Structure 1
Amino acid sequence: MSPLAAVLSVLGLIAAATVVGLVWKQRTGRVAPASGGAQIVSPADVGAAAPFGEKATLLQFSTEFCAYCPATRRVLGGLADANDGVAHVDVDLTHSPELAQRFRVLQTPTTLLLDGDGAVRARIGGAPKRAELEASLARILNGDAHVAA
């Protein structure tokens, strides 16, 4: 391989990695409506001792080594405390890879927004963007059919 071809290959790899990184950053923390049919989740399904909320549940999947999980835990806990009938449940996946596979958790934190029936209404991969999360939770609490705008 000529030196010019090697340099062009390296520059191409850098450009591709930059594009992938920018797309990943743009999508991380965004509220995405649940895809497919409404999956119903119960506390027993995730091994949670804490009950789910009467109106909504912020179900956080985290791990022991997650850098963003403690801050996410504080944000979700604060939202749950500020809204009647809303619970925050944190599930540690460190020793439960079967749960990560079942709920398609590819990064931590991952948060599922559940309605009062335990139906998954939205999903957030990464640390949530607070304004989007609050708006989506308000939609669930108001009974709106669509969670994410």
Structure 2
Amino acid sequence: MSPALALAIAAALLVFAVAIGIVLRLLDGRRRRGGHLRFDPADAGDLELGDRATFVQFSTEMCTRCPQVRRMLRGYAAESVGLHHVEVDLTHRPDLSARYRVLQTPTTFIVDGSGAVRARFHGVPHRHALDEALAAV
């Protein structure tokens, strides 16, 4: 293989990796539909769902962005009446990642009073996206 061809292949791989990184960064923190998922409160230790909604945050012990999301969601829940925050550690409950289709941490669900997942966020949610999702509940 000639050096020029090897350099061209390496450059193409670099451009491809950067493009994938940019797309993933743009999708991070955006609101997605909850689908037909229902959250079972027993999965988080028999908690009581909030009257208005509940933030269900899936995290792991090694997650670096999870403490930031925890602080943000707890603060948001403290400001609002009928809004709760629950954190589920997937390190100790890996079976839940398959059940709720959680592929990365942090992942946050907005669950209504009946347990239906109304919205989901991968990564650090944007504040305006949380406002919009809660307004739709």
2:93 maps to which of 96, 100, 104? 96
Between the aligned partners of 1:117 and 1:64, the Cα distance in structure 2 is: 29
For residue 3 of structure 1, report the CA deviation from its aligned partner: 0.7
For residue 49 of structure 1, report the CA deviation from its aligned partner: 4.2
Between the aligned partners of 1:75 and 1:138, the Cα distance in structure 2 is: 18
Whether the 8 Å CA contact 1:34–1:123 is kept in 2: the answer is yes
Question: How is 1:48-67 mapped onto 2 (pairs within 5 angstroms)?
Answer: 48-67=45-64
So what's the TM-score if we normalise by structure 2? Answer: 0.94
Offset from partner CA, 1:37-87 (integer Å, 9 cap, x none): x3221211x233432111101000001111111110111111111111111
Between the aligned partners of 1:47 and 1:131, the Cα distance in structure 2 is: 26
Counterpart for residue 38 of structure 2: 40
Gaps of 5+ in 1: 141-149
Between the aligned partners of 2:78 and 2:19, the Cα distance in structure 1 is: 39
Counterpart for residue 10 of structure 2: 10
Between the aligned partners of 1:67 and 1:21, the Cα distance in structure 2 is: 18
Between the aligned partners of 1:119 and 1:47, the Cα distance in structure 2 is: 15
Quote the RMSD (CA, aligned, Å).
1.2
For residue 93 of structure 1, report the CA deviation from its aligned partner: 0.5
1:39 maps to a residue whose letter is L
SS in 2 for 1:14: helix
Question: How is 1:1-149 mapped onto 2 (pairs within 5 angstroms)?
Answer: 1-35=1-35, 38-44=36-42, 46-140=43-137
Whether the 8 Å CA contact 1:48–1:89 is kept in 2: the answer is no
